[in-house]
Structure formats: structure tokens, C-alpha cells
A and B are shown apart, each in its own frame.
Chain A
Amino acid sequence: MRRGVGLAAFDRQEQSKRSFAELSSELSRSQIENLHSQLDQFRTALAHFASTHRESIKSDPTFRHAFRQMCSSIGVDPLAGPRQGGWWAELLGLGDWQYELGVQIVDVCVSTRGRNGGLIEMSELVRLVSKLRGMSGGGITEDDIVRSIKTLQPLGAGYQVVEIDGCKMVRSVVKALDEDQTVILAIAREKGGRVVEDDFIRQKGWTRDRTRAALENMLIRDGLCWLDAQDETAGRAYWIPSAMQWDA
């Protein structure tokens, strides 16, 4: 300690500090270099992988699933679109895939909104999107749709996957489904789309007023169902398009 008090000691200390700093920066530089080369290697490997298998990734759902799992284990998602996927998406040329699918989902949702009020069953959506993509587009799965809808979230269009009685539906309008409407949708699915007031009074024990209010709300306020005023049994039958099967 005493020796360290002198001016020379001060110099010496400075000196050793400097050489330590040099050493450390030397070390970290080599580490960074090492890391860079590793990263480069990985990048080329992944890019190579993606470029050789790009077509399979785009068209084969099972392959895409496996690829996605592999990527998520290392914390990247190249399919998530240019924003989330970052340079991965750009590098692998897969960013557009998810957006393209997103646009197709919006297309189907908007074009069927007139008849179903903005609520479409997942399997129906998969079917219509597949039809839109045609043969060359390759198959898509529910999983793809769910992910695509997540990428649509920043748009604030209110696209959302809701589950009603074990059945996934995609909602394309910002509207909260209340509990009664969820029940109505479930019953409508059972009955192939057509429901009348008596269905709920009998099956669910609702009062007529509650049933009527719920149905009329869906009809007039939300436009989620169509009215058949010529129905011979009940006079008024409600048709829920999202629970019906459409051929075209």
C-alpha cells in the first residue's frame, strides 16, 4: 500500500489498468469474431435450408409446422411476417406468406360479412380460403389461420378467434358476444342454422322475453342472423348464416 502512494506507483497502476483493458477488449473482440462466424454459419445454414425447402414450407402444412417448431425453439419465427419475423423473414423470403394469407382471410371475411354478419366458422373459413388460394397455393390449416389472424391484430380491425361450444369461429367485426348469443350460436349449429324461440324455452329453460330479446338483438342490432317471417311453425324463424353450410 505504501509503495502505491508514490507517483511512480500511480503510473504503474495506470499502466496495468491499460494493459488489462487491452487484454479484455482483445478477448471480447475474439469472442465477438467467434460469435459472428458462428452466426454467419448458422445464417447461411438456415438460409440454405429455407431456400431449398421454401416451396415445401409454403405448401406443405405438416412440414411448415415442423419448421415452425424448430424455429420457435431457437426463438425466431420467420413466418410471422416482416415485422415480427425481422430480418429472418426477409432473409428467408417467407414474410410475405403470412401476410398473403392474412389478406385472403380478410377477403373471405369481408365478402361473406353481408350474409353472416361477420361471424364465420373456422372450418368454413379454411375451406373458402383454400378455394381462394387454388391448387397451387398449397394446403393451409387452422393453425395457419390462427397465426395469421394474430398478425392482423396491429391493424385494429378486430379480427378474433372465438370458441363457442367447442367450435372455433372467426369474428371480423368488433362486437362482444354476450352469453346468451353464445348459447344461441351453439344451438343453431346443432340445428343446421335455423332456430325459433321455442328451442330455447324448451332446451334451456329461458323465458320467452329473454329468448326474444336475445334473438332480436342478434337480428336487428348485430345483423348476425336473418329473419324468415314466413316460417309456418313459429311465424318467425331465425337463420344464423355462420352456422349454415354454403356451397358457393
Chain B
Amino acid sequence: MSLSTHTTPSGFLLPSIHSAPAFFTEQPNPTTQSSATEQWTRLILTYARHRKLFVLRVEDAESTDSDWSEILRNERINRMFRLHLHAFQRSSSPVGRILPNHLSNIISNMVSKNLAAYEPPKQTRSALIFWRLPEEWAEILYDWVVSIGQLNTILTFYDITDPPVESPLTNIPVPLLRRAISILGKTGRSQMIAIADGEGVRFLARSK
């Protein structure tokens, strides 16, 4: 059995471990499992960065056409093939895939390391993936606002998440945006404004 890297249709280079069938099973040995979780975490973060994906749901493990299918499944591990050879039915899934419970454990591990956060909070089925930390997002947000000359003007969230010209923040989820804004608020660089109809934010020059 030779394990090799593989480039997905979206241009992502999968590490060779992704072609190992056992990579898709939760390992009973804690040392092995922590090594596997580490590999999964790295894979999820780099893939999220590659595709600009922000949210990972446990149910993504069960779908064949989610944004994450390229890494959560491996069609090249063709279990049907061997199934054919042995001529008896047993497998529940013809391809290599991570099971929801396994994915849920990986997400929880990522949350514990601050590489992800459950969103909405108080549930464990979906999480924001921090392929950039909220602190990094805050700086990117502030730099972007300065670059388009919008200091001291009032911006709506929609202005930021859906600007006419695509920006590094296009499609950023509002909960993540809120975190970034509140981080800037700690240094007096942002100010939230709320009215009955919604919310807005004003960015301010860095005070000395």
C-alpha cells in the first residue's frame, strides 16, 4: 500500500495520510489518536484557508456535497472494490469518510485549543473555524477600513461583509465580525451604534 499526496479539483493538495483508510477511524490508542487529531486539525485549517470556509458542521460529515467533502471523504479509498472481491455486503459506506462522531470530537478539540468556537454558542453541532484568529481578523478589518478611507464614518455590517469590491472580509460571518469589532473596541478603535432597525459600527483613528 503506497500512500501519496493528491490534488483535489479545487486545487488543494491533500497530505499522504489522507489516503490511509485508517485515518478516517477514531483511534483507540490515545497517543495515536492525538496525533491523528493534530493531523485533522491542520488539514481542516489549511483547507478552510484555501477555500475561505468559515463554518464547519458535524452534519458536513454526512453529506456528499458539502463544502468540506473534499477532505471529509476520500473517494479514492474505494471500499466497493474490495467489497466486490469478497462478494459479501457489509460496509455501510463505499468510500473512506470521517464519521460524524469522530468529526464532532475533532471540532471539540479545536474549540479547546481556541482554533474554533461553537457558533451559535451552547451547542456542539457547528463551529466557526479560526484559520485566522479573531485578533488577526481585527487587524485586517481595521487596515481595510483605513485603506478605503472610511474612518469616522458609520458602516453597516453589510457594508463590510458584502462590499462592492471584494475584500479580504467579503462573506465573513457576522459573529466573527462582531468578535473582531469588539477586539478593536478594547483599544478605542471601534464604536458600536445600535438603533431599532439594526446595528452599525464606526471606526476611529488610533488614539495615542
Q: Touching in the complex, A and B, CB below 8 A?
A: yes
Taking beta carbons and an 8 Å cutoff, which residues of A are in contact with B?
114-115, 117, 192-194, 219-223, 226-233, 235, 237, 239, 241, 244-248
User: Closest B-chain residue to A234, C-beta based?
Assistant: B90
Known: A115-B17, A226-B20, A232-B94. 18 other contacts (CB 8 A): A192-B1, A193-B1, A223-B29, A226-B36, A227-B25, A227-B28, A228-B24, A229-B25, A230-B24, A230-B25, A230-B97, A233-B83, A241-B20, A247-B2, A247-B3, A247-B16, A248-B15, A248-B16
CB of B4 within 8 Å of the partner chain: yes
| Contacts of B88-103 to chain A: CB distance below 8 A | 88, 90-94, 96-97, 99
User: Closest B-chain residue to A117, C-beta based?
Assistant: B32
User: Closest A-chain residue to B29, C-beta based?
Assistant: A223
CB of B31 within 8 Å of the partner chain: yes
How many residues of B sit at the interface, in one of the four size bands? 35 or more
CB distance from A42 to the nearest CB of B (A): 51
A235 to B99, CA, bound (A): 15
Cβ contacts A to B, 19 pairs, < 8 Å: A114-B31, A114-B35, A114-B36, A115-B35, A219-B29, A220-B28, A220-B29, A223-B31, A223-B32, A226-B22, A226-B23, A226-B25, A230-B91, A230-B93, A244-B2, A245-B1, A246-B16, A247-B5, A248-B5
CB distance from A229 to the nearest CB of B (A): 4
User: Closest A-chain residue to B24, C-beta based?
Assistant: A230
- Contacts of A246 on B, CB cut-off 8 Å? 3, 16
Taking beta carbons and an 8 Å cutoff, which residues of B are in contact with A?
1-5, 15-17, 20-29, 31-32, 35-36, 38-39, 79, 82-83, 86, 88, 90-94, 96-97, 99
Cross-chain contact B21 with A230 (CB below 8 angstroms) = yes
- Contacts of B16 on A, CB cut-off 8 Å? 246-248
Asked, given contacts A114-B38, A230-B79, A233-B86, whether A245 binds B25 with beta carbons under 8 Å apart, the answer is: no
User: Closest B-chain residue to A241, C-beta based?
Assistant: B20
User: Closest B-chain residue to A223, C-beta based?
Assistant: B29
CB distance from B86 to the nearest CB of A (A): 5
- Contacts of B36 on A, CB cut-off 8 Å? 114, 226
Residue of A114, A226, A227, A248 with most chain B CB atoms under a 10 A cut-off: A226
User: Closest A-chain residue to B102, C-beta based?
Assistant: A229
CB distance from B30 to the nearest CB of A (A): 8
A154 to B38, CA, bound (A): 32
A52 to B129, CA, bound (A): 58
Cross-chain contact A227 with B86 (CB below 8 angstroms) = no
A161 to B82, CA, bound (A): 35
User: Closest A-chain residue to B17, C-beta based?
Assistant: A115
User: Closest A-chain residue to B83, C-beta based?
Assistant: A232
A216 to B23, CA, bound (A): 17
A239 to B19, CA, bound (A): 12
User: Closest B-chain residue to A247, C-beta based?
Assistant: B4
- Contacts of B93 on A, CB cut-off 8 Å? 230
Asked, given contacts A115-B17, A233-B82, A237-B21, whether A219 binds B28 with beta carbons under 8 Å apart, the answer is: yes
A244 to B31, CA, bound (A): 19
Cross-chain contact A233 with B90 (CB below 8 angstroms) = yes
The one of B1, B32, B92 that contacts A230, using a Cβ cutoff of 8 Å: B92
Cross-chain contact A232 with B79 (CB below 8 angstroms) = yes
The one of A219, A231, A239 that contacts B20, using a Cβ cutoff of 8 Å: A239
- Contacts of A115 on B, CB cut-off 8 Å? 17, 35
Residue of B27, B38, B88, B96 with most chain A CB atoms under a 10 A cut-off: B27
Asked, given contacts A220-B28, A223-B31, A233-B83, whether A228 binds B21 with beta carbons under 8 Å apart, the answer is: yes
The 6 closest A-B pairs by CB, nearest first: A232-B91, A114-B35, A226-B22, A192-B1, A223-B29, A247-B4
Cross-chain contact B86 with A239 (CB below 8 angstroms) = no
- Contacts of A237 on B, CB cut-off 8 Å? 21-22
- Contacts of A231 on B, CB cut-off 8 Å? 21, 79, 91
- Contacts of B23 on A, CB cut-off 8 Å? 226
- Contacts of B79 on A, CB cut-off 8 Å? 230-232
- Contacts of A229 on B, CB cut-off 8 Å? 25-26
- Contacts of B39 on A, CB cut-off 8 Å? 114
A231 to B22, CA, bound (A): 9
A17 to B100, CA, bound (A): 98
